[in-house]
Amino acid sequence: MTKDSFANSILLIEDEENIRSFIFTTLKNQNYKVTTSSSGAEGLHLAASLCPDIILLDLGLPDMDGMEVISKLRSWTAIPIIVISARTNEHEKARALDQGADDYITKPFGAVELLARIRTSLRHSRQMQDMSSIHQKPYHYKNLTVNFENHVVTLNGEIIHLTQIEYKLLTLLARNSGKVLTYTFIMEKIWGPYTDSNNQILRVNMANIRRKIEKNPATPEYVFTEIGIGYRMAEGD
């Protein structure tokens, strides 16, 4: 799996239906995978469950102020946040950026500007990811290799195709190979602290990963279950 093998995913948190529809259509036409929400609480839940590549956030939401949403997001994730707001006051802009937003677009705006801002944020995000992994050597054990820099997982020399969530789970375990990671730790790292405490979604994704990398998932070679605690990946070479 390469980092270009799936469409960039965008979460749009906006309560004004006409603006939400305009942005949704604009992004879909550019082949982005778009999920929408009209409230802060639902947006936080979706951010935790979907782990999008970027979040577009309106500040004037019906259930909570967008500043609070930024604060809650920044307590667990570095996902790029672009604020889209009718608030033009410079102090409001500065406050949003200080709170942790990456960019700020003032309504009304055009599709060209929005798309340019999104491309810039995604580019910066990739650069930061590349910088964080550039000095980490690939994980290798038996016939499995995880190349963090190239975002490629291979088994017996062949590329393994994983979903975004599966890739994030596998690399989290690989970066901590030999250590037992608890269910809670994994859930918070991948889905954030606002996800459901039920770890069924984790178990389903781990089962999918095992089907793809284990010769016999019932007797794994690479990812082990520590009953009642979490998961452990075999220590790399």
What pTM value is reported for the model? 0.63
pLDDT digits (tens, 9 = 90+) for 151-206: 899 999 999 998 888 999 999 999 888 888 888 888 888 887 766 667 888 999 99
Does pLDDT of 1 surpass 70? no
Query: End-to-end alpha-carbon separation of the chain, Å?
Result: 22
Residue 223: predicted pLDDT: 96
- Cβ-contact 120, 200 below 8 angstroms: no
Q: Which residues pair with 104 in a beta bridge?
A: 83
Confidence at 137, pLDDT banded by 50, 70, 90: confident
Structure tokens at 8: 């960039």
Q: Which of 15-29, 106-120, 151-165, 181-195 is predicted least confidently?
A: 181-195
Query: What domains, with CATH codes, occur in the chain?
Result: 9-132 (3.40.50.2300), 139-233 (1.10.10.10)
Q: What is the CA radius of gyration of the chain?
A: 19
